[in-house]
Chain A
Amino acid sequence: MQELWEALVQAVSLIARLDGEVIEISLRSLYVSAAAILIAAVICVPIGGIIHFHDFKGKRVLINVIQTFYSIPTVVVGLFVFLFISRAGPLGGLELLFTPAAIVIGQVILILPVLTGMTIAALNGVDRAVKDTALSLGASGSQAIWTIIGEARFAVVGALILGFGRAISEVGAAMMLGGNIRGYTRVLTTAISLETQRGDLVLSLALGIILIGIAMVISVIVNILLQRY
């Protein structure tokens, strides 16, 4: 247990003395996963809305399928994308493997189901009365939809934070698609994996603490913004 204390001290010291490599890796983790959540949000929130606001045959089944893919292992996503973007794969010509873009692609695919499913759940959570009230007050159909989305904002943003959390904490896809190349595709999780392999357990734990710290800062900022508006 001595290590835990040492890790805490080291984490604080790495941040305090602005260790160049650690800051670089942390920022890369942040922007790779932020890019992933942004792209996924642009895709998933509208899709979730479309699924929620339309009644069609097989809707229940579709939602079940989406929910099933919540549990897709990160390594499977990594492997799947790897086969596509490896030079020998159909998208090999794009030379994406072992680049930060490859990690973003993997993380987007990883969080697509969670984000879509959680958006649907968030919209479901809004009382039907809200829609009726909006309509009775003279709102058009699309205005009513926007009202519901507005009411569901806490849950939608919660879904975004969850998706971001899943993206920034996953290691399987980042390792397989990025290759953990120093100064290029190394992110916090792959750095942790490497330092564990190298036997520097304290540094691994310290990097883990930094990752949790980043997640905490993001969630606090988002929640403050949410409560203000």
Chain B
Amino acid sequence: MKTLIINLVRRISVPVVIFCLLLGTILTGCAQVATPPQSQQPADVKPIQSTALPVVAGIPRFKIATTTSLYDTGLWNYLEPMFEKKANVRLDIVYAGTGVALEYGKRGDVDAVVVHDPEAEAQFIADGYGINKRSFAFNHFLIAGPAADPAGIKGLSPEQAFKKIYEGGMADPSKVKFISRGDNSGTHSKEKLIWQAAGYKYAADVEKSGPWYVETGKGMGPCLLMANEQQAYLLADISTFLAYKGKVSVVPLVEQGALFLNVYDVMAINPDKITTAKMLPTANAFINWLMSDEVQDIIATYGVAEYGRSLFNPLKGGGCSEPGCPKLEDYTVPVK
């Protein structure tokens, strides 16, 4: 009897010890993460965001949803600490395609959205979710593809190029393929717009028209890698393309076209519609800050050192002069 109980205690203690071990890991993990290791950071290392737990409950968390291209290029990493310091908030940045970002906004899960899909934005505002829209940066799309260019699109307009790709893909999908984001992102919306301008009905003529048209549902980077593997064509924003330049063999084939303009907008979530949105003053400060000279100058130079050109173009000083560019008041008049 006695030995049985001793054995029992010994055996039960093992799971308990393991539990304690796990618990210990949690606690030390928390403690270590909660104290920011600032001291021994070399100067070139990005500053570490301190707390992982809401220990600093005193500082409000301001949440934004941003489009992937701005995030993937590292621009937000650079801007984030600046705004946190300026507005004394913790800036929580969630990245997603424009469609998902707007959905977060509609559900009240973020306080502001940064997106690039004019039509979807107009709808978002018309439905009462978005207010105080301003533009703050732009760049361009391009069509990339295999250097051999089996569809023969080099130097054409975007619409003509899509036509050639469609015809080539329908004729022989083993030679001509097109990779689509297929995720309701801003880039996907732009792609649909170009198909429409080329004279096709997207849902009826293009989608599911054959094995040449590949819908991935993935972000821009993975799509570029896929296009590279399959030697396919795709529509890409120039920033992501530059970031992947050394990793893929697909080359830009069409770079000129009015449809290629890509404008990044920022909006606050309307507290009248989403009653849980309580950060409107911070959102307004954020919008005005993005239009400020401070940020516009950073946008003008961001990426030059690494890619030889800036990844995004600022709107300040009327840098965007193509048809379709935002009006002057859309990027100069502060919101209230």
Contact = CB atoms under 8 A, between A and B. Distances in A.
Contacts of B80: 182
A20 B41 contact: yes
A147 B23 contact: no
A156 B93 contact: no
Interface string B19-35: 10111011001101100
B107 A87 contact: yes
B54 A139 contact: no
A71 B106 CA distance: 31
Interface in A33-48: 34-35, 37-38, 41, 45
Nearest to B68: A197
B222 A28 contact: no
Nearest to B3: A137
Contacts of B224: 199
B29 A198 contact: no
A138 B15 contact: no
A38 B23 contact: yes
Given A150-B8, A222-B18, A30 B25 contact: yes
A183 B10 contact: no
A63 interface: no
Nearest to B23: A38
Interface stretch (B43-51, B162-170, B208-216): B43-51
A52 B74 CA distance: 52
Nearest to B45: A20
A16 interface: no
A209 interface: no
> What is the interface residue range for chain A against chain B?
35 or more
A180 interface: yes
Contact of B29 (A30, A153, A160): A30
Nearest to A37: B22
Interface stretch (A5-13, A53-61, A92-100, A107-115): A92-100
Contacts of A21: 45-46, 48
Contacts of B52: 24, 27-28, 100, 183-184
B48 A20 contact: yes
B33 A184 contact: no
Contacts of A30: 25, 29
A101 to B, nearest CB: 9
B18 A24 contact: no
Contacts of B148: none
A147 B4 contact: yes
Interface string A59-103: 000000000000000000000000000111100100001111000
Q: Is the interface of B mostly helix, strand, loop or mixed?
A: helix
Nearest to A139: B4
Contacts of A229: 10-11, 13-14, 17
A149 B13 CA distance: 11
Nearest to B65: A179
A196 B8 CA distance: 49
Interface string A192-224: 001011110100000000000000000001100
A226 interface: yes
A31 B92 contact: no
B33 A157 contact: no
Contacts of B45: 19-21
A31 B92 CA distance: 20
A87 B4 contact: no
B188 to A, nearest CB: 16
B4 A137 contact: yes
B109 interface: yes
Most buried by A among B21, B94, B222, B247: B94
B89 interface: no
B26 A31 contact: yes
A182 B77 contact: yes
A151 interface: yes
A87 B25 CA distance: 32
A19 B5 CA distance: 49
B247 A201 contact: yes
Contact of B49 (A35, A87, A139, A184): A184
Interface in B87-106: 90, 92-95, 106
A134 B90 contact: no
Interface of A: 19-21, 23-24, 27-28, 30-31, 34-35, 37-38, 41, 45, 86-89, 92, 97-100, 134, 137-139, 143, 146-147, 149-151, 153, 156-157, 160, 179-184, 194, 196-199, 201, 221-222, 225-226, 229
Given A98-B94, A199-B225, A225-B17, 8 more contacts: A24-B49, A34-B25, A34-B29, A38-B22, A147-B7, A157-B18, A183-B52, A226-B18
7 closest residue pairs by CB, A with B:
A183-B49, A150-B11, A31-B29, A87-B108, A179-B94, A88-B107, A197-B221
